[in-house]
Amino acid sequence: MSRRKCRRSCGVGGQAVLEGVMMKNKERYAVAVRKADGEIVVDTEEFDGVMAGSPFKKIPFVRGVFNFVDSLILGMRTLTWSASFFEEEEPSGADSEKEKKPSLFEKIFGDKAENVAMGITMTISMILAIAIFMILPYFISSFFSVYVRNASLIAIIEGVIRILIFLGYVVAISAMKDIHRLYQYHGAEHKCINCIEKGRPLTVHNVMRSSRQHKRCGTSFLLFVMLVSIILFFFIRVENPVYRVGIRILLIPVIAGISYEIIRLAGNSNNIIVRILSAPGLWLQKLTTKEPDEAMCEVAIASVEAVFDWKAYLKETFGYEVDDSWLVDGPVEDDEV
């Protein structure tokens, strides 16, 4: 079996959902969920995202902003869909008729009620994220200005506080028992992509042996957002406190655009500089991913196969065709991704 000694991003990305995994390849995505009875349900759809077809979505440092927004929308949509399989059973009898009556919100917005609710949730989430991770560190660091007169040092203190708040948030979330299984599916998602990009046939055995850390993970992206913000806020300064808050908000799209390009580079390169830049994010993923079981990997594989021809990818990238006999217990390598 001849393989080219290279690693190229397969272009597939995804996220964990409730008892399942979403995988996206170009404009097509699939969500695979294991129901309570053990059945795996797969839903495949098209998602063009905001400003579909716009040339701006191809411009470096601009496309990252649109991709970030698209990931938020798609993430919320797929989480809502997966949650629908685990809603509590409705009561029967006369009481159930009362439960089925539309709420005032549904009466006002009709068929668009779900989309409106999703939009409101996303807006509130974004406002809270900006307030906690961008604005709060500035106000906390401003208390140190009484003791520290050096503006550069204050900027560094603000950046350290921002990272500490972010790390504290990640640690707190990771400690919650309710999302442990979600992080296991997150690990299954990474393992599937790593398995393919390493050149291994996509079997449960090979997926389980692959790494649960990946350079293109959203966790790494958010960490880069924190680090890039430190650099930008260090060099871009204004004296007026109101302008300082405003510029931190206005620079968020710039920060997202730069961070996206770094993640994109990391997914397509393995040189020493990229490995060094990726190391903190990979370390952080030890908290946001957990080791999945084989059943979870089966769900992740079902999601991948619904949107991606991994056999064709292996042939094009690694130069060999997959023999169907390998799919039972295919050849693997001893090293992890």
**For 138-157, what is each residue's pLDDT tens digit?**
999 999 988 888 888 999 99
pLDDT given at position 151: 86
Alpha helices in the chain, H assignment, sequence order: 63-83, 94-99, 104-109, 113-130, 136-142, 151-174, 180-198, 204-209, 218-235, 241-250, 252-268, 272-288, 294-307, 310-318, 326-329
The rounded distance, in Å, linking the Cα atoms of 217 and 13 is 8
pLDDT given at position 262: 93
Averaged pLDDT of the chain: 87
**For 242-276, what is each residue's pLDDT tens digit?**
999 999 999 999 999 999 999 999 888 888 988 89
Sign of the CA dihedral running 156, 158, 161, 165? negative
pLDDT above 60: residue 7:
no
**For 16-50, what is each residue's pLDDT tens digit?**
999 999 999 999 999 999 999 999 999 999 998 88
The rounded distance, in Å, linking the Cα atoms of 315 and 318 is 6
Q: Are residues 188 and 290 in contact, defined by beta-carbon separation less than 8 angstroms?
A: no
DSSP character at residue 183: H
Sign of the CA dihedral running 310, 263, 21, 83? negative
> What are the residues whose beta carbons fall under 8 Å from the beta carbon of 246, sequence distance 6 or more?
none
pLDDT above 50: residue 336:
no
**For 201-228, what is each residue's pLDDT tens digit?**
999 999 999 999 999 999 999 999 999 9
pLDDT above 70: residue 96:
no
pLDDT given at position 100: 57
Rounded to two decimals, the pTM is 0.87
Q: Helix (H, G, I), strand (E, B), or coil: what is residue 157? A: helix
The closest of 77, 73, 100, 71 to 221, measured between CA atoms, is 71
pLDDT above 50: residue 4:
no
Q: Helix (H, G, I), strand (E, B), or coil: what is residue 41? A: strand
Band (6; pLDDT cuts 50, 70, 90) = low
The rounded distance, in Å, linking the Cα atoms of 184 and 171 is 16
> What are the residues whose beta carbons fall under 8 Å from the beta carbon of 123, sequence distance 6 or more?
none
